[in-house]
Amino acid sequence: METQEQASLPLLSAEELRVLGSLIEKSRTTPDYYPMTLNGLTAACNQKTSRNPVVEYDEQTVVMALDDLKMKGLVGTVTGGGSRTLKYRHTLAVKYPLDLAETALLGLLLLRGPQTPGELKTNSGRMFEFENLDEVNKVLEALAGYELPFVVQLPRRPGQKEARFMHLLGGMPDMENVDLPEEPARKSVNEMEARLAKVEQELAELKESVDKLLKELLG
């Protein structure tokens, strides 16, 4: 793969990684609610499904992460469309020469931590439909092949059949002390997680709409 000139990769905090990953995911899985409100984004960060680790951020934590990401050119804001509410979108693929497949895999690594190509293919269905495992491997090779790589292959643990990959937006990992991999999730569990994630997002948006309506009625 040909290398392309690009700006230096930023070193993101855990909060920034979660916010950026959530924006990437929701841009693909719930486009009707994207760009995202602060309320919806906070709920996305705090999902109990499809997240490792699970967190409980308040809105102030998310706002601080958004401010830092905006300064690094990774998040933009939008208004309009009949609403004066400020909404947020990621600009990762604007700042860097990434296509949809590459962005989807990075989003998964941001949200779930190190994964094997097989796990990435299983978990990517709602963000990008890879035809086969070879396609996943080619995209990982592309992400690792930039002049400043976005992912790195971790040392294979004893007994592991597949090597895991990790993003580099949080810096280069300590290869000797990377967390042990989780057991691969069954397809049925992943499908249930996907449905639960969508329900959580829809409930957050519904709550926001109800709160807005109540303010208008009481105002």
14 in Cβ contact with 22 (< 8 Å): no
37-41, 104-108, 193-197: least confident range: 193-197
Range of the domain at 59: 10-95
Averaged pLDDT score across all residues of the chain: 86
Per DSSP (E only), the strands in the chain are 75-80, 83-90, 151-153, 165-167
Q: How far is CA 201 from the centre of its chain?
A: 14
Residues in the chain: 219
CA angle 145, 180, 151 (to 5 degrees): 10
187 in Cβ contact with 125 (< 8 Å): no
The proportion of the chain whose per-residue pLDDT surpasses 70, expressed as a percent, equals 84
In a domain, 1, yes or no: no
What is the pTM for the complete model shown? 0.78
Of the residues 95, 114, 145, which one is the last residue of a structural domain?
95
Say yes or no: 20 and 91 in one domain: yes
In a domain, 199, yes or no: no
Q: What pLDDT, on the 0 to 100 scale, is given for residue 51?
A: 96
Say yes or no: 104 and 80 in one domain: no
**Residue 216 pLDDT > 90:** no
| Mean pLDDT confidence for 119-143 | 96
Say yes or no: 46 and 77 in one domain: yes
Of the residues 44, 67, 95, which one is the last residue of a structural domain?
95
Q: What pLDDT, on the 0 to 100 scale, is given for residue 4?
A: 42
Q: What pLDDT, on the 0 to 100 scale, is given for residue 218?
A: 73
| Mean pLDDT confidence for 129-152 | 96
Task: Determine how many CB atoms are found less than 10 A away from the CB of residue 106.
Answer: 24
Of the residues 79, 95, 111, which one is the last residue of a structural domain?
95
- Residues in contact with 36: Cβ distance below 8 Å, sequence separation at least 6, in sequence order: 22, 23, 26, 44, 87, 88, 89
Q: How far is CA 20 from the centre of its chain?
A: 6
Structural domains counted in the chain: 2
Say yes or no: 81 and 148 in one domain: no
The residue among 207 and 1 whose pLDDT is bigger is 207
| Mean pLDDT confidence for 24-41 | 96
In a domain, 23, yes or no: yes
Q: What pLDDT, on the 0 to 100 scale, is given for residue 80?
A: 64
Q: What pLDDT, on the 0 to 100 scale, is given for residue 81?
A: 61
Q: What pLDDT, on the 0 to 100 scale, is given for residue 184?
A: 45
- The residue written with tokens 């604007």 in the block is 94
**HSE of 93, CA atoms in CB hemisphere, 13 A:** 15
Say yes or no: 68 and 150 in one domain: no
CA distance 135 to 73: 29
Say yes or no: 67 and 133 in one domain: no
Q: What pLDDT, on the 0 to 100 scale, is given for residue 180?
A: 47
CATH number at residue 176: 1.10.10.10
Condensed to tens digits (0 to 9), the pLDDT of residues 150-203 reads 999 998 877 878 899 999 999 987 766 655 444 444 444 555 666 666 677 777
State the amino acid at position 1 in one-letter form.
M
In a domain, 107, yes or no: yes
The residue among 5 and 167 whose pLDDT is bigger is 167
In a domain, 136, yes or no: yes
- Residues in contact with 66: Cβ distance below 8 Å, sequence separation at least 6, in sequence order: 19, 38, 41, 75, 88
